[in-house]
């Protein structure tokens, strides 16, 4: 594979520099990266005459680690665009929960996850975390597609089409883990929906199981102001205080959203090694708030990026998510959100985004790998690591000239420029064609769901 090649190093996320090699080649064998060499030495070191050598010249492309989408509800792709312009709680109560009650089934989750994987592969995502019902169906879709995933074992107290209650969610989830845990590309985590939808007793049990089984725990936390206000009224404490009391905070704990944070909470997150998954577009769409990414990075917190589900985004495009994260981190925006008086002066003094393009890219690759506990395997292009990487075409009119490939990718690249995707050394997107998924069948299935859901909505 030819270059330029972007690599990431294990360095402090708030103060990192890209490691960019020009005119280099990546050498892979089976599922691993085995060498990174100058292009000029390819033919000497790996002569084409050897039958097991295959050389792919990708022209003026950037090779980089695949994106790690650290928070997603894959099957909800089937609900993309059913309703807009609602705040989080109204959107959940009036739209999502009733539709899920009516339509979520094995087939819904399997076909919805397939659609999501197709979209993610076509936009350069090589690994995603999922939080949804029927994790057996999601695991099946992941395994067949060959993408890497962390399947969250969703836990809620109320009866759903997946389970009768939280206890049932846990026992069914653990069975799914037993059935699929031998697969190399699938990991599992516990995924209690939120502090407000799962009891203290259940959360305590999940903390115990998470420690015992050494698997991550991911939850929606401090997503919007209503969540904080409701908790203050009901429990006289912020959800974060409850999470701390229940010993949730740890390097195995992933918190999605975190738009409402005060300084001492940021300090506790940093000290505990808890990861924060920033989902900027979903937070904007549902008017939830903005995660204080720069403060978190300055405190030493690992920040990852997630798209959330396509129903609240409305896509699974990590490139645009990273771009949004970088722009939203602008000091001017945060000064405004935090109510400081000196907005204009600050804007003049510091009119650049506070997050660099590379920090955004790092959060969308290595940050996600760290959060999901797989940074020893993926997240960067290093010898010995898994060959999870993508190729982005920088030769088109929209991409030229290229002064800085990292800047180009973050500020002016669209997902259509992702030409190739490899996961564990296997090419899953070849010149924009999916190799393991039937794109036309996926579209046909999704259209059938759209017809069913549309006619149900009309009948209400
Ligand atoms: Zn979510």
Is the same domain home to 23 and 114? no
On whether both 118 and 55 belong to a single domain, the answer is: no
Distance from residue 88's CA to the centre of ligand 1 (Å): 10
384 CA distance to ligand 1 middle (Å): 33
By C-alpha distance, which of 144, 131, 156, 159 is closest to 75? 131
Query: Running DSSP on this structure, what letter comes out for residue 456?
Result: H
Residue 184 has pLDDT above 60, yes or no: yes
Beta-bridge mates of residue 386: 32
Residue 134 within any structural domain of the chain: yes
pLDDT at 4: 55
**Torsion angle in degrees (nearest 10) through CA of 401, 7, 71, 137:** 110
Q: Is the pLDDT of residue 354 over 80?
A: yes
How confident is the model over 231-274, as pLDDT tens digits?
A: 999 999 999 999 999 999 999 999 999 999 999 999 999 999 99
Could you give the percent of the chain with pLDDT greater than 70?
A: 91
Residue 459 lies in a domain: no
pLDDT of residue 46: 86
C-alpha span between 120 and 318 (Å, rounded): 8
pLDDT confidence of residue 11: 42
- Which pLDDT value is given to residue 53? 84
Please tell me the distance between residue 306's alpha carbon and the centre of ligand 1 in angstroms: 9
133 C-alpha vs ligand 1 centroid, how far in Å?
13
Residue 334 has pLDDT above 90, yes or no: no
* 450 has a pLDDT exceeding 50: yes
Domain assignment present for 423: yes
Cα of 234 to ligand 1 centre, how many Å? 23
Tokens 């403060």 correspond to: 295
Output the CA 309–ligand 1 centroid distance in Å: 6
Q: Which two tokens stand for residue 244?
A: 């701390």
Out of 95-99, 121-125, 127-131, pick the least confident: 95-99
Residue 232 CA to ligand 1 centre (angstroms): 22
Mean pLDDT over the full length of the chain? 91
In three-state form (DSSP H/G/I as H, E/B as E, the rest C), the secondary structure along 74-105 is: HHHHHHCCCCCCCCHHHHHHHHHHHHHHHHCC
- For a pLDDT cut of 90, what percent of the chain falls above it? 78
Q: How confident is the model at residue 335 (pLDDT cuts 50, 70, 90)?
A: low
CA of 38 to the centre of ligand 1 (A): 42
Ligand 1 centroid–CA 167 distance in Å is: 21
Over residues 27-38, mean pLDDT: 93
Tens-place pLDDT, residues 76-115: 999 999 988 888 888 889 889 999 999 999 999 999 999 9
**C-alpha 73 to ligand 1 mean position (Å):** 6
pLDDT for the residue numbered 32:
97
**Whether residue 75 sits in one domain with residue 61:** no
Beta-carbon neighbours within 5 Å of ion ligand 1: 308
The 10s digit of each residue's pLDDT in 322-333 is 999 999 987 656
- Residue 131 Cα, ligand 1 centroid: separation in angstroms? 7
Q: What is the CATH number of the domain that holds 34?
A: 2.30.40.10
Ligand 1 centroid, distance to 129 Cα (angstroms): 10
Rounded (10°) CA dihedral 314, 319, 325, 327: -100
The mean pLDDT value for 52-78 works out to 94
Indicate whether 446 belongs to any domain: no
Between 204 and 90, name the one with better pLDDT: 204
Question: What are the φ and ψ backbone dihedral angles of 157, each rounded to 5 degrees?
Answer: -80, -35
pTM equals 0.94
Note whether residue 454 is domain-resident.
no
pLDDT for 194 beyond 60: yes
Cα(345) to centroid(ligand 1), Å: 36
pLDDT at 181 over 50: yes
Output the pLDDT for position 15: 52
Q: Domain span at residue 61?
A: 5-65+381-433
How far apart, in Å, are the Cα atoms of 178 and each of 143, 168, 169, 200, 393? Answer: 15, 15, 14, 26, 40
CA of 22 to the centre of ligand 1 (A): 38
Q: How far apart are CA 357 and CA 405, in angstroms?
A: 10
CA torsion sign for 421, 423, 428, 430 is positive
How close is the Cα of 191 to the center of ligand 1, in Å?
A: 10
Alpha helix (H) ranges present in 146-249? 166-180, 200-213, 225-235, 239-245
User: Cis before residue 4, ω within 30 degrees of 0?
Assistant: yes
Q: 229 and 123, same structural domain?
A: yes
Q: Is residue 360 pLDDT above 60, yes or no?
A: yes
Same domain, 267 and 338: yes
Instruction: Tell me how many domains the chain contains.
Output: 2
Quick check: 370 and 275 in contact, CB under 8 A? yes
Q: Ligand 1 centroid to 399 CA: how many Å?
A: 32
Within this chain, do residues 168 and 310 fall inside the same structural domain, yes or no? Answer: yes
Lowest-pLDDT range, 86-95, 138-147, 152-161, 268-277? Answer: 86-95
Q: Do both 247 and 355 map to the same domain? A: yes
Residues 278-308: pLDDT tens digits? 999 999 999 899 999 999 999 999 999 999 9
Does the residue 87 lie in any domain?
A: yes
Strand duo 216-221 + 125-132: pairing: unpaired
16 Cα: distance to centroid of ligand 1 (angstroms) = 28
Give the Å distance between the CA of 311 and the centre of ligand 1.
10
For residue 27, report the phi and psi dihedrals to the nearest 5 degrees: -110, 125
Task: Report CA(262)–ligand 1 centroid distance (Å).
Answer: 21
Task: Return the pLDDT at 5.
Answer: 62
Q: How far is the CA of 151 from the centre of ligand 1 (A)?
A: 13
Which CATH number characterizes residue 213's domain?
A: 3.20.20.140
The rounded Å distance from CA 35 to ligand 1 centre is 38
How many Å apart are CA 59 and CA 78, to the nearest integer? 36
> What separation in Å is there between the alpha carbon of 401 and the centre of ligand 1?
37
- For residue 452, tell me if it sits in a domain: no
For the stretch 8-23, pLDDT in tens is: 544 444 455 667 898 8
Give distance in angstroms: CA of 194 to centre of ligand 1.
Answer: 9
Both 82 and 43 in one domain: the answer is no
- Taking the C-alpha atoms of residue 347 and residue 340, their distance in angstroms, rounded to an integer, is 12
Lowest mean pLDDT among 1-15, 25-39, 259-273, 432-446: 1-15
Q: Is the pLDDT of residue 206 over 50?
A: yes
Residue where a domain stops, chosen among 371, 406, 424: 371
Provide the β-strand partners of residue 421.
390, 429
Beta bridge partner(s), residue 148: 127
Query: How remote is the CA of residue 282 from the centroid of ligand 1, in Å?
Result: 8
| Domain shared by 61 and 78, yes or no | no
Looking at the fold, whether 327 and 411 belong to one and the same domain comes out as no
Shared domain for 299 and 402, answered yes or no, is no
Report the separation in Å between the CA atom of 307 and the middle of ligand 1, taken as the mean of its atom positions: 8
Kindly give, in sequence order, each residue whose CB lies less than 8 Å from that of residue 160, ignoring residues fewer than 6 positions away.
100, 101, 104, 133
What are the φ and ψ backbone dihedral angles of 267, each rounded to 5 degrees?
Answer: -65, -45
Structure-model confidence comparison of residues 25 and 306, the more confident one: 306
Compute, in angstroms, the gap from residue 283 CA to the centroid of ligand 1: 10
In the reported structure, the alpha carbon of residue 130 is separated from the centroid of ligand 1 by a whole-number distance in angstroms of 9
Going from the Cα of 206 to the center of ligand 1, the distance in angstroms, rounded, reads: 19
Q: pLDDT class for 460, splitting at 50, 70, 90? A: confident
* 3 state DSSP class of 417: helix
CA angle 122-128-134, nearest 5°?
110
In a domain, 439, yes or no: no
- Residues 168, 76 within the same domain: yes
Query: What is the pLDDT averaged over residues 307-312?
Result: 94
Q: Ligand 1 centroid to 132 CA: how many Å?
A: 9
């Amino acid at each position: 594979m030819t270059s330029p090649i972007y690599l990431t190093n294990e360095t402090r996320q708030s103060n990192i520099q890209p490691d960019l090699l020009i005119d280099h080649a990546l050498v892979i064998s089976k599922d691993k990266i085995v060498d990174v060499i100058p292009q000029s030495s390819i033919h000497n070191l790996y002569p084409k005459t050897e039958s097991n050598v295959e050389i792919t010249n990708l022209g003026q492309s950037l090779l980089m680690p695949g994106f790690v989408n650290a928070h997603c509800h894959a099957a909800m792709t089937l609900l993309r665009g059913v309703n807009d312009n609602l705040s989080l709680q109204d959107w959940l109560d009036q739209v999502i929960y009733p539709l899920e009650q009516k339509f979520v089934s094995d087939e819904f989750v399997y076909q919805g996850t397939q659609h999501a994987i197709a979209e993610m592969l076509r936009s350069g995502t090589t690994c995603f975390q999922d939080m949804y019902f029927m994790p057996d169906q999601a695991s099946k879709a992941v395994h067949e597609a060959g993408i890497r995933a962390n399947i969250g074992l969703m836990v809620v107290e109320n009866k759903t089409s997946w389970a009768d209650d939280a206890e049932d969610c846990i026992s069914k989830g653990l069975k799914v883990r037993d059935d699929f845990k031998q697969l190399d590309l699938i990991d599992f985590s516990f995924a209690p929906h939120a502090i407000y939808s799962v009891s203290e007793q259940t959360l305590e049990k999940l903390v115990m199981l998470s420690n015992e089984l050494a698997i991550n725990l991911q939850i929606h936390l401090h997503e919007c102001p209503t969540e904080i206000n409701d908790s203050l009224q009901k429990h006289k404490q912020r959800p974060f205080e409850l999470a701390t009391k229940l010993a949730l905070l740890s390097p195995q704990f992933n918190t999605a959203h975190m738009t409402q944070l005060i300084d001492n909470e940021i300090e506790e997150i940093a000290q505990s090694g808890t990861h924060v998954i920033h989902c900027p577009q979903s937070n904007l769409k549902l008017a939830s708030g903005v995660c204080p990414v720069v403060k978190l990075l300055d405190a030493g917190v690992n920040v990852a990026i997630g798209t959330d589900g396509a129903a609240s985004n409305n896509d699974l495009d990590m490139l645009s998510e990273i771009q949004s994260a970088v722009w939203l981190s602008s000091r001017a925006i945060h000064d405004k959100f935090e109510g400081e008086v000196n907005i204009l002066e600050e804007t003049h003094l510091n009119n650049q985004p506070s997050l660099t393009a590379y920090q955004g890219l790092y959060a969308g690759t290595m940050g996600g790998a760290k959060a999901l506990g797989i940074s020893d395997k993926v997240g960067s292009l290093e010898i010995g690591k898994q060959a999870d990487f993508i190729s982005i075409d920088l030769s088109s009119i929209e991409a030229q000239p290229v002064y800085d490939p990292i800047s180009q990718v973050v500020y002016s690249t669209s997902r259509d420029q992702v030409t190739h995707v490899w996961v564990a050394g296997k090419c899953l997107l070849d010149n924009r064609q999916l190799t393991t998924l039937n794109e036309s069948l996926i579209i046909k299935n999704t259209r059938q769901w759209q017809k069913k859901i549309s006619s149900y909505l009309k009948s209400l």
